[in-house]
Structure 1
Amino acid sequence: MTQGAGMTVVSRSLISDEASVSENVFPLGLTPAIVTLRNGAQLRVVSGGAPVMSLKFDEAASRLSLLDGPGDPKRALPALSAATEAALGWSPAAAQFVLDLGNRPQLIAHLLKHGLMEARGSEFVVEPGLVMQRPDNWLADADRPPLPLHYVMTDGKRHPRRPVKPEGVVYARFIPWLSQTISFRALDREADLPLFHRWMNDPRVAAFWDEDGDLDKHRAYIARLQADPHMLPLIGCFDDVPFSYFEIYWAKENRIAPFYDAGDYDRGWHVVVGEDAYRGRQFISAWLPSLMHYMFLDDCRTQRIVGEPAAAHVQQLRNLERSGFATIKNFDFPHKRATLVMLLRERFFGDRLWLPAATEAAVRA
């Protein structure tokens, strides 16, 4: 069980053996552990083993009907949010869901206010692209408001002041097609140093990163990033097992900024998949959209995510194209020939790019 910043990532070991994880159980990525259980057309949302809500799930009609739940809308909202994520996971090709709440005017008003659904004539509709932009199910610090806009200067670059860096787990999401939970946590300089050191000295990684070296070099490298407000180093895990290292950056004050018209809240990223067991398309289909999802949720003003992979890294460019990134141009960094790629927020949520490519194509068909 991975812990940090008061959060715990749910792994499969915490789920009862009475049901198959992939078919009948859909856990929320973060604790307190809220789990949606499915038995035919009936959904039950439980928290800490206690029943919270029951619904009827008419998958063929794309309809969720509330049967029983808490009278307090503030308690009902997280349970309904968990149930809608589970319904989307079990029925990814559904264009939308109709949410039947019966005669519950206070709950209806609360859900409309918080964006879980929208009114369409006499019905209330759950749109996948809207649900996935609500941070509650995935962000450890979902209640944190965006930092007010205040411009500062760094090395002659004018940019918004950046928020204090998080600690511990920042994001978690259950991946139904893997039956695993992916999570991202802030890198711990000392605890994660041996892992970082081993990954950076992997010849396959060193060929692209050129950061192989001894422990002192890597300790200093991490320290520089942690002291830099525009950089956030993360460790990615599948079911608590570390598999990758990520660097997330604000583009406006990054080295990429001179090569395109960087927006105030554009973000970019670098990745090292350090464990061979987690290479391949099935894992890319989980960690890549989840990382993009985290960056879009972390600040709702982020409209674009950019990358600058080596122009010679053909496989990575193919993976990015399949994941919705557009190729903008090639350009020259001092250390490499790079390709500028870009993902729009509107495309990510509009085309449901949090899903594997095959499912996404079925949705559009």
Structure 2
Amino acid sequence: MSNLNDLTALALPSGSQLVADATESRLSLSLDGQPLIRLRLDREGQGPIQVDERYALPPGQALWAACYWLFAHDPARQQLIWQLDQAPTEALLSGLLVATEVAGEYRCERTLFWQLPQPWLGTSLSGSYPQQMVISNGKRHPLRPVKPRGEVYRRFDARLGAWISLRTVEIEQDLARFNRWQNSPRVASFWQEEGSLEQHREYLSKLDADPHTLSLIGCFDDQPFAYFEAYWAKEDRIAPFYDADNYDRGIHMLVGEEDHRGPHKVASWLSALVHYLFLDDPRTQRVVAEPRADNAKMIGHMHNQCFHCEKEFDFPHKRAALMILGRERFFDRCTLV
């Protein structure tokens, strides 16, 4: 795992590299070898950040890159105060910066920064998809957008020194892997979905045709290690057990590769999965899950990522724990880097 105090470079999903040259009182950032911005920092970390020089790239991009590096370098830091000679129009419009009562001073809040969808989010129409209420299978819910295809989320995890990404399932490409994972005794004890290739092809095909569920493959450095299902809770079997909102999302989780288990890996992929769902549609206020109530290890991992257990309840096939994470809580306590 990387030491964030020694952080000198951050990779961006575009393939670009953000490189820092930092001292106690100065920070110079370059993007792909081109100077981006030079900052003057308060040694004690209390005073405002000042811009010594800004180079050719758009000012909004330079400010975003500086905020990203500063938050990644110090995951406990919740706010950055900037002192700028000119009003940062682009940054103010996007929510990257917020005006303060002091003339020429602006703040960047961690809770706002990580709600900005780019560059982490792939193409998504969910957030701008118009609302029309429909009824399916006796349940009233918003008409859901067409499901995405391909990669939907990518971020460099500076703690792990690895890329975490999510892509949609491609049945022909992923069937053998999914079959191997589901037939693992460890996975089968919780999922109870052992079966043949044809049974699993039918399982994945059914989900692919279901507008309320999105099946995803989790990757570290583009190597698949996990399978996730993200569903709209209002249309799901969980809806009768709590007051489901129109845009609540739920998750099912399976780590298939043994060498990607462990709490530090869970912290990375679980926060990425939740981050993706909150970015995908800003109307989503809660992410829920219903692990088996006796799955103490997974429930403990979820507690570590700020989920809380609302209650236990009985599905026909299991005693479940209703785990809930609200949007406000996730971003207020966000430790993404």
TM over 0.5: same fold?
A: yes
Tell me how far apart the structure 1 counterparts of residues 82 and 59 of structure 2 sit (CA, whole Å).
Answer: 14
State, as a whole percentage, how many aligned pairs show the same letter: 42
Letter of the 1:85 counterpart: Y
Equivalent in the alignment of 1:27 = 11
Q: Is the 8 A contact 1:323 1:353 kept in 2?
A: no
Instruction: Tell me the alpha carbon deviations over residues 227-280 of structure 1, each in whole angstroms, 9 at most, x when there is no partner.
Output: 111101111111111111110000000110011110000001011101111111
Helix, strand or coil at the partner of 2:253: strand
Matching of residue 343 in structure 1 with residue 325 in structure 2:
yes
Deviation, structure 1 residue 80: 2.4
Equivalent in the alignment of 1:257 = 239
Tell me how far apart the structure 1 counterparts of residues 144 and 6 of structure 2 sit (CA, whole Å).
Answer: 39
Helix, strand or coil at the partner of 2:155: strand
Matching of residue 65 in structure 1 with residue 50 in structure 2:
yes
Residue from 80, 89, 112 that aligns with 2:72: 89
Helix, strand or coil at the partner of 1:136: coil
Deviation, structure 1 residue 337: 0.9
Equivalent in the alignment of 1:119 = 99
Tell me how far apart the structure 1 counterparts of residues 202 and 336 of structure 2 sit (CA, whole Å).
Answer: 35
Letter of the 2:16 counterpart: A
Equivalent in the alignment of 1:239 = 221
Instruction: Tell me the alpha carbon deviations over residues 327-348 of structure 1, each in whole angstroms, 9 at most, x when there is no partner.
Output: 1111111111111111111111
Letter of the 2:310 counterpart: I
1:1-365 to 2 correspondences below 5 Å = 23-28=7-12, 30-40=13-23, 41-47=26-32, 49-58=33-42, 60-61=44-45, 63-69=48-54, 75-101=58-84, 103-105=85-87, 108-122=88-102, 123-141=105-123, 145-354=127-336
Cα 1:196–1:120 change in 2 (3 A) is: same
Q: Is the 8 A contact 1:293 1:354 kept in 2?
A: no
Cα 1:88–1:59 change in 2 (3 A) is: farther
Cα 1:190–1:66 change in 2 (3 A) is: farther
Deviation, structure 1 residue 130: 0.6
Tell me how far apart the structure 2 counterparts of residues 177 and 353 of structure 1 sit (CA, whole Å).
Answer: 11
Tell me how far apart the structure 1 counterparts of residues 61 and 149 of structure 2 sit (CA, whole Å).
Answer: 24
- Larger deviation: 110-119 or 133-142? 133-142
Deviation, structure 1 residue 137: 2.6
Letter of the 1:264 counterpart: N
Return 5+ residue gaps in structure 2 as ranges.
Answer: none
Q: Is the 8 A contact 1:246 1:269 kept in 2?
A: yes
Return 5+ residue gaps in structure 1 as ranges.
Answer: 1-11, 13-19, 356-365
Cα 1:271–1:145 change in 2 (3 A) is: closer
Tell me how far apart the structure 2 counterparts of residues 144 and 215 of structure 1 sit (CA, whole Å).
Answer: 32
Letter of the 2:256 counterpart: G
Total equivalences in the alignment: 330
- Larger deviation: 51-60 or 166-175? 51-60
Cα 1:95–1:78 change in 2 (3 A) is: same
Q: Is the 8 A contact 1:289 1:323 kept in 2?
A: yes
Letter of the 1:236 counterpart: G
Letter of the 2:63 counterpart: L
Give the TM-score, by structure 1 length: 0.84
Helix, strand or coil at the partner of 1:192: helix
Letter of the 1:99 counterpart: W
Q: Is the 8 A contact 1:324 1:353 kept in 2?
A: no
Tell me how far apart the structure 2 counterparts of residues 264 and 189 of structure 1 sit (CA, whole Å).
Answer: 29
